[in-house]
Structures are given as structure tokens and as C-alpha cells.
């Protein structure tokens, strides 16, 4: 049994609906040019360019930590854990120093500030899930990794894998597009 999460497959499933919605909207707009047509895709909180760049650095250090755990190299894993802790402290300082974290000039500024904080929280949760998978199952962060004894996985283990891969897909999407689109699969704690 190979556990594999295909985020693009899930997104491709909704592509025909999106295209149909856009086609209908364009047809509707052409037929009724004075009628205002709603967007086919809802607006989502937007993660800043800065946080997207920081996330790449954070994920790179997380990958190094996972590889050290998989190699059972405790000294190197400890070094990367310390690096991630310092990086988290720096990010928290940046987020806390944003004057908009207390009061914002506009609703748009408020949403932007809180999207960055929410994204960072999601990034930390994703790292924690990956860390558990690494320590418990030898997960090394690679796309080709497989469970060595899939028959021994419990329902809880499978839920953990599902939650991690769901959160990882959200993080990857936010890094690529800036849109923070969270789903219940990521928010549901593993049991």
C-alpha cells in the first residue's frame, strides 16, 4: 500500500466546473453587458511576498531536519531544530512588530496582517506533522518516500498522513499563488 497525495489531481477535478463557470459568466456578460457578474473564484486572504519567501527558507530547513531524522543523525537534527527555532523567533518578532497586528488603518490591512500570522501558524503545524511522521515512520520529506511496512499503519497513522499532505498542499499553494485557502482536512487534528 503506497500512501500518496496528489494535490494537482484534486484541483484538476474542479477545473471543468471552474471553466464552465467562467464560460457562463462570459456568455452572461456578453448578453447582458450592464449586469454585474460575480467572480467565479472567491477571494481568499493573501499571504505577503515576504512571508512566501520566508516560508521557502523555513521549508528548506524543515527538509534538512527530516532528512537528518531519517538518517538517525541526532546531532544534525538537533542543529536544524535549533535553526528552525531561531527562524521562528525572528518571524514572530517581525509579525509582532507590524503595527497592524494591533490596530490597522483599513480592513484590507487587517486581513493582510492576519493572513501572514495564519499562514505562519499553518507552516509551523505542517512542520510539526512532518516531524512526527519523520520520527515515527522515517519520513524524509521526499516525494518518492514510502512507508516501509504499510500493513502496520493504524487508522490514526493514516489520518496523520492525510492531515499532513493536506496542510502541505495548502502551504505549497499559498507560496505559489499567495492565496491562503484552508480546508477541513488540514484543520482536523489527527486522533
> Is the pTM value of this prediction over 0.75?
no
**pLDDT higher for 99 or 9?**
99
| Span 102-114, average pLDDT | 68
How confident is the model over 130-171, as pLDDT tens digits? 888 888 888 878 777 777 777 777 888 888 888 988 999 999
Cα of first residue to Cα of last residue in the chain, in angstroms, is 21
**pLDDT higher for 86 or 107?**
86
110-127 in b/e form (b: 16+ CB < 10 A) is ebbbbbbbbbbebbebbb
User: Is the per-residue pLDDT at 24 higher than 50?
Assistant: no
Extents of the domains making up the chain? 1-42, 44-187
> What average pLDDT is seen over the chain?
74
Instruction: Name the maximum alpha-carbon separation found in the chain.
Output: 67
Amino acid at each position: 500500500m503506497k500512501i500518496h497525495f496528489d494535490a494537482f489531481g484534486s484541483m484538476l477535478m474542479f477545473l471543468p466546473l471552474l471553466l464552465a463557470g467562467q464560460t457562463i459568466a462570459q456568455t452572461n456578460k456578453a448578453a447582458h453587458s450592464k449586469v454585474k457578474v460575480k467572480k467565479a473564484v472567491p477571494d481568499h486572504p493573501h499571504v505577503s511576498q515576504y512571508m512566501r519567501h520566508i516560508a521557502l527558507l523555513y521549508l528548506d530547513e524543515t527538509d534538512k531536519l527530516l532528512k537528518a531524522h531519517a538518517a538517525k543523525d541526532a546531532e544534525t537534527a538537533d542543529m536544524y531544530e535549533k535553526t528552525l527555532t531561531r527562524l521562528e523567533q525572528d518571524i514572530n518578532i517581525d509579525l509582532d512588530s507590524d503595527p497592524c497586528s494591533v490596530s490597522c488603518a483599513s480592513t484590507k490591512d487587517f486581513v493582510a496582517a492576519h493572513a501572514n500570522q495564519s499562514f505562519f501558524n499553518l507552516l509551523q503545524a505542517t512542520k510539526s506533522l512532518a516531524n512526527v511522521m519523520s520520527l515515527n515512520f522515517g519520513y524524509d520529506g521526499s516525494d518518492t518516500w514510502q512507508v516501509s511496512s504499510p500493513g502496520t499503519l493504524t487508522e490514526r497513522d493514516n489520518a496523520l498522513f492525510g492531515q499532513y499532505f493536506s496542510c502541505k498542499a495548502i502551504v505549497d499553494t499559498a507560496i505559489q499563488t499567495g492565496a491562503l485557502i484552508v480546508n477541513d482536512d488540514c484543520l482536523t487534528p489527527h486522533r
